[in-house]
């Protein structure tokens, strides 16, 4: 009977199970890398957006559109999700003001510009999440693929040895099951990152919608004198 330590198991694995292990290792590294990178991006977006809201709130109340655009366009807010939608809306309002467009057209044009910026921002925020979802759903099956070949190898060895005892296949089956366990672990990591990051994206979506709505409301109040 083979030794049951990981080193011995690895040495006894066939080329296909070993290839599966390397694939799962790549999937796990990818999941962690995407998860950490997205968390850093989201953290910067949240921090910069909080600072921006404090700076721009007073300018909105005073109706200072150009100053608001300048502040929102500053490089220190380049990662802010709110800066992207506010700049789009403010720029469109200023353009429509210069073009002497009707009031209703100004508002609708600003809403469309904000909507486009929001969609673009969400696409950026969701970058890499599809990969995490794919790994989360396929990881166990990839591991199972390696296990199937490992079990086949174990039973083939038993047939060759002419022994039907459990000891003849116990080590081989244990080696094979490693890929299934590894696949489940990889899937759990990917799913945890995916759910956490997707929740953050949903929060950012709501924040962008609230900020754009507040911008339009300020403009309407300014024009109607409400």
Q: Are 107 and 220 in contact (CB under 8 A)?
A: yes
Domain containing 137: what range? 6-224
Is 1 inside a domain boundary? no
Residue 51 lies in a domain: yes
Whether 74 and 100 have beta carbons less than 8 Å apart is answered as: no
Give the model's pLDDT for residue 226.
52
In a domain, residue 47? The reply is: yes
Q: What is the pLDDT of residues 162-213, one digit of tens each?
A: 555 565 566 667 777 888 899 999 999 999 999 999 999 999 999 898 888 8
Q: What is the mean pLDDT of residues 90-112?
A: 83
What is the three-state SS of 151-218? HHHHHHHHHHHCCCCCHHHHHHHHHHHHHHHHHHHHHHHHHHHHHHHHHHHHHHHHHHHHHHHHHHHH
Q: Tell me which DSSP letter residue 102 carries.
A: -
| 188, part of any domain | yes
- The total number of structural domains in the chain stands at 1
Has residue 168 been placed in a domain? Answer: yes
Q: Is the pLDDT of residue 7 over 80?
A: no
Six-digit token pair at 18? 């070993």
Q: What is the mean pLDDT of the chain?
A: 83
């Amino acid at each position: 009977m083979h030794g049951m330590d990981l080193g011995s198991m690895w040495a006894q694995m066939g080329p296909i199970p070993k290839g599966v292990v390397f694939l799962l290792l790549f999937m796990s590294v990818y999941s962690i890398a995407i998860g950490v990178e997205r968390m850093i991006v989201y953290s910067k977006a949240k921090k910069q957006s909080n600072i921006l809201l404090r700076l721009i709130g007073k300018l909105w109340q005073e109706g200072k559109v150009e100053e608001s655009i300048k502040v929102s366009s500053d490089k220190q807010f380049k990662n802010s999700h709110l800066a992207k939608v506010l700049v789009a809306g403010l720029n469109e309002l200023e353009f429509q003001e210069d073009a002497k467009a009707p009031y209703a057209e100004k508002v609708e044009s600003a809403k469309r510009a904000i909507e486009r910026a929001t969609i673009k921002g969400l696409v950026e925020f969701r970058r890499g999440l599809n990969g995490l979802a794919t790994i989360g759903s396929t990881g166990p099956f990839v591991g199972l693929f390696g296990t199937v070949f490992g079990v086949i190898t174990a039973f083939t060895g038993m047939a060759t040895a002419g022994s039907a005892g459990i000891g003849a296949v116990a080590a081989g089956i244990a080696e094979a099951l490693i890929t299934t366990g590894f696949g489940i672990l990889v899937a759990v990591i990917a799913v945890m990152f995916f759910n956490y990051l997707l929740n953050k994206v949903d929060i950012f979506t709501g924040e962008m919608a609230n900020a754009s709505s507040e911008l339009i409301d300020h403009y309407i109040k300014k024009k109607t004198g409400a």
